[in-house]
Homo-oligomer: A and B are copies of this chain.
Amino acid sequence: MISSEFVAELQRLGQLVTDYIVNFPAVRKVAPDYLKEGVLFYVKKGGKRLRPAILIWAAEAVGGQAELVLPAAAAIELSHTWTLVHDDIIDHDDVRRGGPSMHAYYRETWRSRINPDNLKDWSQNLAMLVGDIQQALATSMLNALPVEIDRDLVRWLINDLATNWVTEVLNGEMLDVEYATRSLDQLTETDILSMLDKKTASTLSWCGQTGALLGLNKLEPDHHLVKLMAELCRQAGLAFQLQDDILGIIGDEKELGKPVGSDIREGKRTVLVAYAYHHADAAGKLILQNILGKNGATPNEIDQVRAVLSNSGSIDYVRGLAADYTAQAQQLLNQLSPSKAATHLQELVSFITQRKY
């Protein structure tokens, strides 16, 4: 059960993060103006803001203060944002958070000024540079953590974001698109879960770990609370991605803010697809082989794939898997001393599999 207090708190923190990013001095200095607009485009759209909330609550749950860790919450939100901007180019996604994606927005705003033959490249190039700048600014935000925070910890976090987080997330993203080019026979559920772990769970885990480190305000990556928080957020992250995959097949487009069925057209190798492929009959297998990854799949073809997924029991199976990860995260959360922040984290973990968007 999600309390209205939780929802309000999530929104409040989301607004704090937006304000921080919008008013960050180096953001205000970005030029030309249309690149600055791009840097803030997804930020101003909002989104769920789960990642910065996790970081802030993880810090508070171990005794830290939200105000002191806000720059790190903004840094991971902006880091996540640049991967979305570049990922939307890669996935040809024209819709994000109920409106145009970054490159789709640039395509419209520049349509009258750019030769139509060059417009697609032009808008993708602008979006690429926006992501590049966002990556750099996220580093600056970590560097802007207040003087109360241990300086060695700040340096360590900057390096950790650059070395570990970036390479892990992009490795996951790359495998995600590469898997879509592979035959379904070649991929196991383990392969896919390992890819999701890198692509999605690593960010939530980074938020939990970083929040705990900042809350303790000590460079102790092996502290049991840091390890606990990293691990429970990783479990929550896997549940989050599995729920995302389910919503991508049977979600409501309006609530979701992005088109349902695009995972099918892109041929994404989700656990849903892997399970269905290994449990479907010959006719079902053929449907998956022929339609997954077909750019111009018709609504009827999308429905055929959806039927194979449902009939094979894969949606129930993945729901169960997400519930298992959620339960493991909740069990780890029970090891924390009771606090308002710990309660928020519990609600957040419940929200992950109950959400419709």
Contact = CB atoms under 8 A, between A and B. Distances in A.
Interface of A: 26, 29-32, 35, 82, 86, 89-90, 92, 113-114, 117, 121, 124-126, 128-129, 131-133, 135-137, 139-140, 143, 151-152, 154-155, 158-159, 161-163, 166-167, 170-171, 173-175, 177-178, 181, 295
A242 B150 CA distance: 46
Given A31-B171, A124-B124, 8 more contacts: A32-B178, A35-B171, A35-B174, A89-B125, A128-B128, A132-B170, A133-B167, A136-B162
Contacts of A82: 132
Contact of A129 (B30, B86, B114): B86
Quick one: copies of this chain in the complex? 2
Given A32-B175, A113-B181, A166 B128 contact: no
A158 to B, nearest CB: 6
A221 to B, nearest CB: 15
Contact of A131 (B31, B89, B132, B137): B132
A166 B32 contact: no
Contacts of A113: 181
Nearest to A30: B167
A30 B174 CA distance: 12
Contacts of A126: 174
8 contacts: A30-B171, A31-B171, A125-B177, A129-B174, A133-B170, A135-B135, A139-B162, A155-B158
